[in-house]
Structure 1
Amino acid sequence: MSEPSTSATGRVVAVDVGGSGLRLQSYAVGPGPVLAAPGARVGAGGIDVAALVADARSLLDAGDGEIASGARAPEVLAWSMRGLLFLADRSDVLRTVAEGLGARRTIVVSDAVAGLVGATGRVGPGAVVAAGTGAVAFGTDFDRQWRRVDGWGHVLGDAGSAAALGIAGLRAALRAHDGLPDGSATLLSAAVDLLGPPEGWPRLVMTTADAPERLASVAPLVTEAAGSDPVAQTLCVRAGSDLADSLLRAADGLESPHLAATGGLLAATPVADALDRRLAECGARRSPTHGGALDGALLLARQLRDTGHVPEHPAYLLTR
């Protein structure tokens, strides 16, 4: 990852809040250990930011008593958070984080932006598509263009995600069960082993709070079957192509952007190969991935410490 100037000194702290947990890392003369706590809690009022700040405060207390005592507050704290656009009031998040963690300067940034900075290793024109349980792409020049593509959830969107691939796999399995064309007996057998009889699948994937995760758990069945099952292969190709299309749209209009793709689904060769083929058809290719959202938040914190400036946007990146 590219290194900001080191003309300034002082400890910086980065926090990344996702559905699977909260992670915190500090940086002084070098990066400290990554500390972890439970992830975002979403209720009727949105994300409980105060509870997350309390968790981060506890990690600071456990990891560095000097900071916790107030003797040496962090120079900069960067707070990357999933759900910043739809599940929280951004100005309230900035106030709560700044007051609760006491850094001299505070950044609140969407995890899409932090993920882009971490993936490309720089604050510059680029786009990233993240393919995990869900899927979202984001592209920006950190000036005039800030574009998010998809990320609408497993019911309305998230094309190319593990949840979407899982849905497609279960549909193909049920077509085989019903004796319809384009079904997959291979996926039917594997899904029954994983989830039980098909009669129970609707309840599992439509009425439970963890439905996206259950659907995503089916994706490995599809990717593993792709080598011998033409239906599974077709589904993987579609997932990779969907991810590429989201990435290309996010990058549209950017000058010489760095393109990156992240997420666990890309460990599946059939999906990753399809993504790369689709990019190549459009005259593009992705760059190696440098890191994740926590790395991006840390880089932004260091840039603000070292230069006194980071790009700002009222929806995606705020400072105080």
Structure 2
Amino acid sequence: MTPGPGPNGGWVLGVDSGGSGLRVALADASGTGRARTTASREPVRTGPAGIDAAHLLDQLLPMARTLLDGAGSSAGGTAGDTVAVGAVAVGAAGMVTLGDDLRTRLPAALESALGVRRVALAADAVTAYAGALGERPGAVVAAGTGMIALGTDLASWRRADGWGHLLGDCGGGAWIGRAGLEAAMRAHDGRPGGSPALLAALEAVFGPAPELPGLLYPRTDRPAVLASFAPEVARCATAGPGEPRETGDPVAAGILREAARHIADAAAAVCPASGECEVALTGGLFKIGDPLLVPLRAELSARLPHARTVSAAGDPLAGAVRIAASLATGDLRLPRDGRLLHVPTEQGS
């Protein structure tokens, strides 16, 4: 027995592949009801061909079958029954530049294994957009270790930054952390622009300042290590309880103001120039709160007077589910793009 469509018109799978692992959600296509989710903490490998499609499938297919088996039992079947999947959307970090293996292998593999023919392969910035704003015009800034902005008028996409910590990601967590550590080292040396408060924070986190290069440079996860210092920059920028606001460290506060300017620059570069534009902020960096958000809101207001800052409705996994649901019902409004949003069953995508 194979139970039929989900409770409100069909089942869809959303997939979110990133630096912290792989997450999979099964939901009904209407978007109502609670999605079933599962996760792996093992990030998908990257090799000479880019993101390793075989490794992604090795993780995804057992996770998907577990979710489908559970949905089959809930739909009135017996143990081992599965349900039909109407569409799958896979969002992956690095899809734009490292997604060739996924684009080549995933559609046929998913059709063979799950019987699904409607497949969308998206950059994680696109699933972040869909999760935050759905399928309406606007701009989304996704900031964590890195930083990328993506906007659309529903005719085409515009992207700004997201070029990695060596070439960009300006205003992101690694950028803030590196700027804070540089200011700490300036204080250690006695050079202008240094911050004794940031130097004290550096030594509390990493140990003696002269040892930091030896700890940092051999690491393969340098961006994450740099980003781990961003909350310390925010802490130093903030006055203590009962202290005047001005008592926060001015160097740390200046770093966050500059980060806000960089983030606003990226948002302004992608926000539709006319009509109503919503700007959503999503990602772990914004959890550091007011030390960054207060100057950022001021910059966005000055740069984008026609835009309105809104809270993100959902995360990238929710965005992948939303894309899959729209694809299943044939009303996906987001622009197709060979690298940002690839729909192989549609001619010209």
Q: TM-score, normalised by structure 1?
A: 0.91
* TM-aligned CA distance change 1:71 to 1:48, over 3 Å: same
Partner Cα separation in structure 1 for residue 166 and residue 209 of structure 2: 20
Structure 2 residue corresponding to 1:114, chosen from 119, 124, 127: 127
Structure 2 residue corresponding to 1:74, chosen from 82, 85, 92: 85
Larger mean Cα displacement after TM superposition, 208-217 or 44-53: 44-53
2:266 aligned with 1:246, yes or no?
Answer: yes
Counterpart residue type for residue 269 of structure 2: R
Partner of 1:224: 235
Partner Cα separation in structure 1 for residue 227 and residue 169 of structure 2: 12
Structure 2 alignment gaps of length 5 or more: 1-5, 73-79, 239-247
Identity in percent = 37
Partner of 2:150: 138
Structure 1 residue corresponding to 2:341, chosen from 291, 310, 317: 317
The CA deviation at 1:304 is 1.8
Partner of 1:34: 37
* TM-aligned CA distance change 1:201 to 1:24, over 3 Å: same
Query: What secondary structure sits across from 1:80 in the alignment?
Result: strand
Indicate if the aligned counterparts of 2:68 and 2:82 stay in contact, CA closer than 8 A.
no
Larger mean Cα displacement after TM superposition, 257-266 or 307-316: 307-316
2:281 aligned with 1:271, yes or no?
Answer: no
* TM-aligned CA distance change 1:309 to 1:219, over 3 Å: closer
Structure 2 residue corresponding to 1:129, chosen from 141, 149, 152: 141
Partner of 2:245: none
Structure 1 residue corresponding to 2:50, chosen from 46, 55, 60: 46
Counterpart residue type for residue 213 of structure 2: P
Superimposed CA distance per residue, residues 140-164 of structure 1 (whole angstroms, 9 cap, x where no aligned partner): 1232x31111111111110111100
Counterpart residue type for residue 61 of structure 1: R
Partner Cα separation in structure 1 for residue 196 and residue 55 of structure 2: 47
Superimposed CA distance per residue, residues 7-53 of structure 1 (whole angstroms, 9 cap, x where no aligned partner): 97111111111111111111126232321012221223321122112
Instruction: Give RMSD over aligned pairs.
Output: 2.2
2:40 aligned with 1:20, yes or no?
Answer: no
Structure 2 residue corresponding to 1:166, chosen from 177, 186, 208: 177
Partner Cα separation in structure 2 for residue 250 and residue 317 of structure 1: 17
Query: What secondary structure sits across from 1:129 in the alignment?
Result: strand
Partner of 2:3: none
Partner of 1:189: 200
Partner of 1:3: none
Structure 2 residue corresponding to 1:234, chosen from 228, 251, 254: 254
The CA deviation at 1:101 is 4.1
Structure 1 alignment gaps of length 5 or more: 1-5
Superimposed CA distance per residue, residues 239-291 of structure 1 (whole angstroms, 9 cap, x where no aligned partner): 12211111111114353222111111112211111110001112143112101
The structure whose Rg is larger is 2
Partner of 1:11: 11
* TM-aligned CA distance change 1:70 to 1:50, over 3 Å: farther
Partner of 1:259: 279
* TM-aligned CA distance change 1:309 to 1:162, over 3 Å: closer
Partner Cα separation in structure 2 for residue 223 and residue 54 of structure 1: 40
Larger mean Cα displacement after TM superposition, 54-63 or 130-139: 54-63
Partner Cα separation in structure 1 for residue 111 and residue 194 of structure 2: 54
* TM-aligned CA distance change 1:93 to 1:124, over 3 Å: farther
Partner of 2:217: 206
* TM-aligned CA distance change 1:86 to 1:98, over 3 Å: farther
Counterpart residue type for residue 262 of structure 1: T
Indicate if the aligned counterparts of 2:170 and 2:262 stay in contact, CA closer than 8 A.
yes
Indicate if the aligned counterparts of 2:26 and 2:67 stay in contact, CA closer than 8 A.
no
2:104 aligned with 1:92, yes or no?
Answer: yes
Counterpart residue type for residue 159 of structure 2: R
Indicate if the aligned counterparts of 1:204 and 1:211 stay in contact, CA closer than 8 A.
no
Indicate if the aligned counterparts of 1:60 and 1:67 stay in contact, CA closer than 8 A.
no
Indicate if the aligned counterparts of 2:173 and 2:285 stay in contact, CA closer than 8 A.
yes
Indicate if the aligned counterparts of 2:234 and 2:252 stay in contact, CA closer than 8 A.
yes
Counterpart residue type for residue 336 of structure 2: E
Partner Cα separation in structure 2 for residue 98 and residue 287 of structure 1: 37
Counterpart residue type for residue 187 of structure 1: L
Query: What secondary structure sits across from 1:285 in the alignment?
Result: strand
Partner Cα separation in structure 1 for residue 38 and residue 171 of structure 2: 30
Partner of 2:76: none
Indicate if the aligned counterparts of 1:66 and 1:72 stay in contact, CA closer than 8 A.
no
* TM-aligned CA distance change 1:254 to 1:150, over 3 Å: farther
Q: How many residues align?
A: 313
Q: TM-score, normalised by structure 2?
A: 0.83
Partner Cα separation in structure 2 for residue 248 and residue 35 of structure 1: 36
